[in-house]
Amino acid sequence: MTDDETVWRWIAEERVALADALEALPAEAWDEPSQCRGWKVRDVVGHLVSLAEATRWSVTVDLARQLRLPDEALSRIAKREGRADPTELVARLHAAARGRFVVFTQPPAVSLGEVIVHGIDALRPVGGDEPAVDPERTLEVAQAYRNVGFVFSAGRVTRKIRFEATDAGWVIGPTEGPVAQGAATDVLLALAGRAEGCEALGGPGADLLLS
């Protein structure tokens, strides 16, 4: 595993790259549906901005004020922040690129995954240019996601599968497990429980994900 300082540097770089990609989107794209059910592109970006700017104390206070279950509270926060003008959201993501919030007990690689996966969630449905991600970074996220698989709906199934990132040269999972192969970013989407990621992979492991 990579040391935490390096992962935090990666996170800052990925936030800047994503902000640059978002800046290029036409105004109408921000109100289109994202890959996150019930969220527009602007809501996804609002979520990423809130995480980049957050501290554990600010998140605890904000969640408590929502008087909702955690997922519902996070959705309300994302939509609240997402109401801002796109130019403001891009500027805030740039400004908070070095933010270091991560959920207690989870490694920084989970925050790296948030940026990469939610960036795809926002950009892919509207044809935005997805920033290229270094294979070492996608591997770091994939390993972290397998370790915290219980967080995602597909967690129990993904533990049984051998994932092969055909464009990144890495493999994770049991040696004898059914293989699911495809682009590294699609593997990350599948590990995060996204149907779009599962559908983009091939092999018997992908069939298991879709069953």
Task: Please determine, for residue 152, whether its predicted confidence score (pLDDT) is greater than 70.
Answer: no
* 126 assigned to some structural domain: no
Tell me the two tokens of residue 116.
């990469």
Range of the domain at 164: 135-210
* 57 assigned to some structural domain: yes
* 113 assigned to some structural domain: no
Highest-scoring range by mean pLDDT, 52-56, 100-104, 145-149, 192-196: 192-196
Residue 37, number of CB atoms within 10 A of its CB: 9
Residues 66 and 149 in one domain: no
User: Three-class SS of residue 170?
Assistant: strand
- Rounded to whole angstroms, the Cα distance separating 201 from 114 reads 20
pLDDT of residue 154: 56
* 130 assigned to some structural domain: no
Domain termination residue (choose one: 58, 89, 106): 106
pLDDT of residue 84: 98
pLDDT of residue 68: 59
Task: Please determine, for residue 64, whether its predicted confidence score (pLDDT) is greater than 80.
Answer: no
- Rounded to whole angstroms, the Cα distance separating 48 from 111 reads 10
Give the H/E segment covering residue 172. strand 170-172
Q: Count the domains in the chain.
A: 2
Residue owning tokens 């690689």: 109
Residues 35 and 100 in one domain: yes
Contact (CB, 8 A) for 183 and 141: no
Q: What mean pLDDT is predicted for residues 126-137? A: 98
* Predicted confidence (pLDDT) per residue in 3-53, tens digit: 999 999 999 999 999 999 999 999 999 999 999 999 999 999 999 999 999
- Rounded to whole angstroms, the Cα distance separating 54 from 96 reads 9
Residues 46 and 85 in one domain: yes
Domain termination residue (choose one: 106, 122, 152): 106
Q: How many percent of the chain have pLDDT more than 90?
A: 76
Residues 91 and 143 in one domain: no
Residues 94 and 146 in one domain: no
- Rounded to whole angstroms, the Cα distance separating 182 from 11 reads 23
Domain termination residue (choose one: 91, 106, 121): 106
* 160 assigned to some structural domain: yes
pTM above 0.85, yes or no: yes
- Rounded to whole angstroms, the Cα distance separating 140 from 163 reads 14
* 120 assigned to some structural domain: no
Q: How far is CA 40 from each of CA 43, 55, 78, 113, 155, rounded to the nearest angstrom?
A: 5, 25, 10, 19, 25
84 torsion bin: left (phi>0), alpha (psi -120 to 50), beta (else) = beta
Backbone angles phi, psi at 171, to 5 degrees: -135, 135
* 177 assigned to some structural domain: yes
